[in-house]
Structure 1
Amino acid sequence: MNSEMEKEFEKSKSKDKQERYEAYHNILNETEHEVDWAYEVWDQLLEDLTHKDNHQRSRAAQYLANLAKSDPEARMLNDFPKLWEVTKDEKFVTARHSLQSIWKVGLAGREQRDMVMEYMEHRFQNCTEEKNYTLIRSDILQNMRQLYDHLEEEDIKQTALDLIENVEDTKYAKKYKAIWK
C-alpha cells in the first residue's frame, strides 16, 4: 500500500468529522477497482466490524465489501458471516449502510455471488420480525438489482421477482417491483 492510502486509513479514524468523511470517500473510490494491498488492512477491518464506534463498524463493513474483488485467496468465503453480522447492527443506520454495500462481495466471483444471494434471499424471507423490515427488504432487492446490472445474470433477476411474488402486502410488493422496472 502506498503512503497516501495509509494516511487515508489513518484519517478515516480521525476525530475531525470532515477529515474522516473525505478519507472515507477516498478509500471507497480507491477500492472501487481491484487493489493489491487488501490484505494489508483486511485483518484490521475484520476486527473493526465489532468496534465500539458504530461509524467504525459501518466503514469497516463497506471497505471489506469493496475489497472482496481484491481477494485472490477468497478469504471472504470464510469471513463473510462476520461482515454479514454488521447488517444486523444494533444501530439501524450502521446496519443499513453495511447491507447496502454487501452486494459488492458478489462481484468477486461465482462462489461469492452465490453466497451473497443465499444470505440475502434467506434474510428477505425471514426478516419480518425485524424492525424496519420493509426497508431491509427494499435494500436486499436493490442489492440484487445492482448485482444483476453488473453481472447480467437472469437467475439473479428471477430470484428477486420470485421473492416479490411472495410478498403479501400489495403496497410493498408494488414498491419492490418498481426496483425492477
Structure 2
Amino acid sequence: MESQMKKEFEKSKSKDKEERYEAYHNILEATEQEVDWAYEVWDQLLEDLTDKDNHQRSRAAQYLANLAKSDPEKRMLDDFSKVWNVTYDEKFVTARHSLQSIWKVGLAGKEQKEMVMEHMVDRFKNCEDEKNYTLIRSDIIQNMRNLYDHLEEEEIKETALELIETVDDTKYKKKYRSIWR
C-alpha cells in the first residue's frame, strides 16, 4: 500500500472532524476501483465494525463494501455477516449509511451478488417491526436499482418490482416504484 493511502486511513481516525471527513472521501474514491492493498486493511476494518465510535463502524462497513471488488480470495463471503450486522446498528444513521453501501458487495461476483440480494430480499420482507422500516425498504430498493444499473441483470429488476408489489401502503408503493422510473 502506498504511503498516501496509509496516511488516509490514519487520518480517517483523527480527532479533527475535517481531516477525518476528507480522508473518508479519499478512501471511498480510491476504492471505487480495484486496489491491490485491500488485505492490508481488511482485518482492521473488520475490527472497526464493532468499534465504540459509531462513525468508525459506519466507515468500516462502507470501506469493506467498496473493497469487496478487490477481494480475489472471496473473504467477503465469510465476513459479510459482520458487515451486514452494522446495517442493524443502534444508531440509525450508522445503520443507514452501511445499508446504502452494501449493494457494492454485489459487484464483486455472482456469489456475492446472490448473497447480497438474499439478505436484502429477506430484510425487505421482514423489517416492518424495525423503526424507520419505510426508509430501510427505500434504501433496499435503491440498492437493487444501483446493482441493476451496474450489472444490467433483469432478474434484479424483477425481484425489486415483485417486492414493491407486496407493499400494501399505496403511498410507499408509489415512492418505491419511482426509484425504477
Q: 1:94 and 1:165 mapped to 2: Cα distance?
A: 28
The separation in 2 between residues aligned to 1:134 and 1:165, in whole angstroms, is 14
Letter in 2 for 1:42: W
Distance 1:166 1:53 in 2: 37
Q: Per-residue CA shift, 1:124-152, capped at 9, x if unaligned? A: 00000000000000000000000000000
In the alignment, which residue of structure 2 is the partner of 1:76? 76
Structure 1 position 97, deviation (Å): 0.2
Residue 52 of structure 1 is matched in structure 2 by 52
Residue aligning to 1:42: 42
Distance 2:100 2:167 in 1: 21
Mark the runs of 5 or more structure 2 residues left unpaired by the alignment. Answer: none
Q: Distance in 1 between matches of 2:125 and 2:59?
A: 27
CA separation in 1, counterparts of 2:33 and 2:70? 8
**Other-structure match for 2:13:** 13
Provide the TM-score with structure 2 as the length reference. 1.00
The AA in structure 1 aligned to 2:175 is K
Shift of 1:41: 0.2
Aligned identity (percent) is 81
Report the counterpart of residue 100 of structure 1 in structure 2. Answer: 100
Distance in 2 separating the partners of 1:164 and 1:97: 22
Residue of structure 2 in register with 1:161 after alignment: 161
Opposite residue 37 of structure 1, the aligned amino acid is W
- Amino acid corresponding to residue 93 of structure 1 in structure 2: V
Which residues in structure 2 correspond to 1:65-144 (within 5 Å)?
Answer: 65-144=65-144
Following the alignment from structure 2 to structure 1, what is the Cα–Cα distance between the partners of residues 60 and 151? 25
Distance 2:33 2:2 in 1: 16
TM-score normalised per structure 1: 1.00
- Structure 1 residues 39-94: Cα deviation after superposition (integer angstroms, max 9, x where no partner): 00000000000000000000000000000000000000000000000000000000
Distance (whole Å) between structure 2 residues aligned to residue 50 and residue 158 of structure 1:
35
- Residue 116 of structure 1: CA displacement? 0.2
**Post-superposition, which runs of at least 4 consecutive aligned residues in structure 1 deviate over 4 A?**
none
Q: What SS does the aligned partner of 1:13 have?
A: coil
SS of residue in 2 equivalent to 1:50: coil
Letter in 2 for 1:18: E
Gaps of 5+ in 1: none
1:27 maps to what in 2? 27
> For residue 175 of structure 1, what is the aligned residue in structure 2?
175
SS of structure 2 residue aligned to 1:128: coil
